[in-house]
Amino acid sequence: MLGLVPFSAYVVLFLALPTALAVGSGFLDAEGAPTLANLSALGDPVVLNTFGNSMLLSAVTAVVGAVVGALVCYALLGSRSDGRLRSTVDAISGVLAQFGGVMLAFAFTATIGVQGIVTVLLADVWGVDIFAEGVWLYDLPGLFLPYIYFQVPLMVITFLPALEALKPQWAEANATLGGTRATFWLRIGFPVLAPSFLGSLLLLFANAFSSYATAAVLASQGSQIVPLQIRAALTSETVLGRENLAGVLALGMILVMAAVMALYSVLQSRASRWQR
Amino acid sequence: MTPSRTTRWAILGLVGLIFAVPIAAMTEFTLRRGLEGGHDLSRWITLFTGQLDGGYRQVWVGLGNSVVLAIVTVLLVLVLLVPTMLLIRLRFPRLMPVLEFVCLLPITIPAIVLVIGLATVYGVVARMLGSGVWTLALAYGVLVLPFAFRAVQANLQAVDVQTLTEAARSLGASWPTVVVRVLLPNLRRGMLAASFIAVAVVLGEFTIASLLNRTNLQTALVVVSKNDPFTAVIFALLALLFAFLLLLVIGRVGSGRRPGRTS
């Protein structure tokens, strides 16, 4: 058992301790004495609104990302898993899903920023001013497109392995029994894939809910979503006139994430029935 | 059940095209000539002929720091995670689900939450280990745990550790020999994949570095972009290309194709 000590100590120091300190700080008052008073912040209209924004952003981008990503996975069905097409799509998806952050903020500023190429083209060629009602790229509405941009590739990475669970024999059985392509998908494909699809959808939700970098660079001020509100709470003494708000927000985030991930593991175990 | 050729390429073509727009826009942006309009390669030439002035020193510092952090993070994975996984696989297989749960936890605990507590932890770390650049890798090791665990686990499940170990032991090999000369060579692919993904994650990391006021590649890019967004975008494109090539290599390593072998 002694051999397990270094890793355990590391995980305790750099995962368990920071999490406990983060959440614990929400239960301390300005003098460091324990209190439950800060928790009332989770009922503050401003905080509730921020959580609402975060959930809306995560839900919409997760659904769009899941549907488009699943279509891409479908298009890849039947391609060789060690082929050039698959490994290129895998690599592109990996980069866009995990490496994004700061780069995505730059990319969308260059695309639909005030001087972005799409903005300029739309204005010059069709006379459409996408910012007629004010510049929305650096605010909540501006986060949707960049988030979808990293959600679709994440869906491809997580959902593609599930599609491999569809056995060619099922398609053959369906055809032998006189089924059409439509009956295959309606009666076999969708029901078998449903748990994996919903599981991936939840993973996408969790991913958007916890992302920080893209939003932080695009919306350099303000606290439209929870991670940005944590930034505000960390960089200034008091936000909304409350102490230790960051800890309370962290607790709220972890509660949401834990609920999502618990549901995810339930769906995963259902999905694995077909992956033997 | 498989899509027709037309359907496949229609979907991939359309989605690919849409996803290419922001990358193309970034490229176009770097070619713009100031206020007089038009496009040229001057910024790329300035960068590649080493004519950037001291104002961009920050990027090189950030890149250097990120490389150090990537190396230390990979070492953490190889020295802390891999031996632990092997030990549990060999001696305490019942603990594997516990290890998996712990390694996947960082998905549930966002970096933005960790960073709140890390500020305090680093107060202590600085007193014990100094405030060197590399210390940030201790936090990054946690971020890469889910990815690294999956990469090594996939390899571990594909190797019959039990039989290999018994065979080596019955031929008189000591435990260190079994690990170093039998098991680790068989886990090379998983360790390589875990290392590459760790490098990709560390080079792209922004949240923790930014909120702990450290300088890495990404925070440096943000600083530079405030003065010269054009050159910052060039750096971002180069980093993106590098990460893409890195992941392409992972894919090749992961699928187990060796050069010269066609199957």
pLDDT (tens digit per residue) in A89-137:
888 888 888 776 888 998 888 888 888 888 888 888 887 878 777 778 8
What percent of chain A has a predicted confidence (pLDDT) above 90? 29
What ipTM was estimated for this complex?
A: 0.85
Let me know: does B247 contact B196? Beta carbons within 8 Å. yes
Same domain, B85 and B9: no
Do B25 and A118 count as a contact with CB atoms less than 8 A apart?
yes
Closest residue, chain B, to A75 (C-alpha): B8
CB pair distance less than 8 Å for A102 and B222: yes
Q: Are A65 and A53 a contacting pair, CB within 8 Å? A: no
Based on the fold, state whether residues B99 and B221 are members of the same structural domain.
yes
Nearest CA distance, A98 vs chain B (angstrom) = 7
Same domain, B21 and B108: no
Within a domain: B140 = yes
The domain in which residue B8 lies consists of: 1-40
The answer to whether residues A146 and A105 touch, using CB atoms and an 8 Å cutoff, is yes
Over residues A147-161, the pLDDT tens digits come to 999 999 999 988 888
Residue B115 with chain A: CB contacts under 8 Å: 18, 22, 234
Same domain, B61 and B36: no
A34 bridge partner residues? A28
Question: Does the beta carbon of B101 lie under 8 angstroms from any beta carbon of chain A?
Answer: no
Nearest CA in chain A to B255: A82
Which pLDDT score is estimated for B255? 62
Residue B137 maps to which CATH number?
1.10.3720.10
B49: in domain: no
By Cβ distance, the residue of B9, B240, B252 closest to A103 is B240
Contact A250 B221 (CB under 8 A): no
Q: For residue B139, is it within any domain?
A: yes
Q: Identify whether residues B127 and B176 lie together within a single domain.
A: yes
Q: CB–CB of B121 and A17 under 8 A?
A: yes
Is residue B67 domain-resident? yes
User: Using CA atoms, how far apart are residues B55 and B228, in angstroms rounded to an integer?
Assistant: 10
- The answer to whether residue B48 sits within a structural domain is no
Count how many residues are written for chain B.
263
Q: What is the pLDDT of residue A205?
A: 94
- Report yes or no on B74 lying in a domain: yes
B contacts of A6 (beta carbons < 8 Å): 80, 84
Report the pLDDT averaged over residues B75-83: 93
Query: pLDDT tier at A238 (50, 70, 90 boundaries)?
Result: low
Nearest one of A229, A259, A57, A210 to A143, comparing CA atoms:
A57
Q: Are residues B22 and B137 in the same domain?
A: no
Alpha-carbon B43 to chain mean position = 28
Rounded mean pLDDT of B137-146?
94
**What percentage of chain A carries pLDDT values higher than 70?**
96
Residues in Cβ contact with A116 at an 8 Å cutoff, skipping those fewer than 6 apart: A108, A109, A110, B25, B29
Residue tagged 């690990």 (tokens): B179
A185-208 as b/e: b if 16+ CB within 10 A: beebbeebbebbbbbbbbbbbbbb
Based on the fold, state whether residues B65 and B36 are members of the same structural domain: no
User: Which domains are assigned to chain A?
Assistant: 2-274 (1.10.3720.10)
Over residues B45-61, the mean pLDDT reads 78
Query: What are B69's strand-pairing partners?
Result: none
Q: Where are the beta strands (DSSP E) in A10-95?
A: none
What DSSP string runs through chain B? Answer: -PPPHHHHHHHHHHHHHHHHHHHHHHHHHHHB-TTT--B-SHHHHHHHTT---GGGHHHHHHHHHHHHHHHHHHHHIIIIIHHHHHHHHHT-GGGHHHHHHHHHHHHHS-HHHHHHHHHHHHHHHHHHH-S-GGGGHHHHHHHHHHHHHHHHHHHHHHS-HHHHHHHHHHTT--HHHIIIIIIHHHTHHHHHHHHHHHHHHHHH--HHHHHTT---HHHHHHHHHHH-HHHHHHHHHHHHHHHHHHHHHHHHHHTTPPTT---
Backbone angles phi, psi at B39, to 5 degrees: -130, 145
Same domain (yes/no): B12, B97: no
Q: Is B256 left (phi over 0), alpha (psi -120 to 50) or beta?
A: left
Mean pLDDT of B224-246: 86
- The values of phi and psi at residue A213, to 5°, are -55, -55
Contact between B207 and A212 using a beta-carbon 8 Å cutoff = yes
Q: Mean of the pLDDT values across residues B184-211?
A: 89
In a domain, B260, yes or no: no
Residue B97 and residue B143 share a domain? yes
Compare A55 and A244 and report the one with higher pLDDT: A55
How many domains, in total, are found in chain B? 2
> Using the 8-state DSSP alphabet, how is residue A242 labeled?
B
In a domain, B263, yes or no: no
Cβ of B11 within 8 Å of Cβ of A75? The answer is yes
Interface of A with B in 128-167 (CB under 8 A): 149, 152, 166
Q: Which residues of B touch A90 (CB under 8 A)?
A: 247, 251
Give the mean pLDDT of B87-114. Answer: 91
HSE (side-chain half, CA atoms, 13 Å) at A178? 0
User: What sign results for the dihedral spanned by CA atoms B109, B112, B116, B119?
Assistant: positive
Give CA–CA dist A12/A19, Å, rounded: 10
The pLDDT score that the predictor gives to residue A239 is 63
Chain A nearest-CA distance from B247, in A, is: 5
User: How sure is the predictor about A57, in pLDDT bands with cuts at 50, 70 and 90?
Assistant: very high
Same domain, B91 and B4: no
A247's CB contacts (< 8 A; 6+ apart) are: A22, A23, A24, A25, A26, A27, A28, A38, B116
Helix (H, G, I), strand (E, B) or coil at A204: helix
Q: Are residues B167 and B217 in the same domain?
A: yes
Taking the Cβ of residue B111 and every Cβ of chain A, the question of whether any pair is shorter than 8 Å is answered with yes
Most confident of A60-69, A190-199, B49-58, B146-155: A60-69
Asked if residue B125 and residue B14 are part of one domain, the reply reads no
A 10 A CB-CB count for A255 gives 12
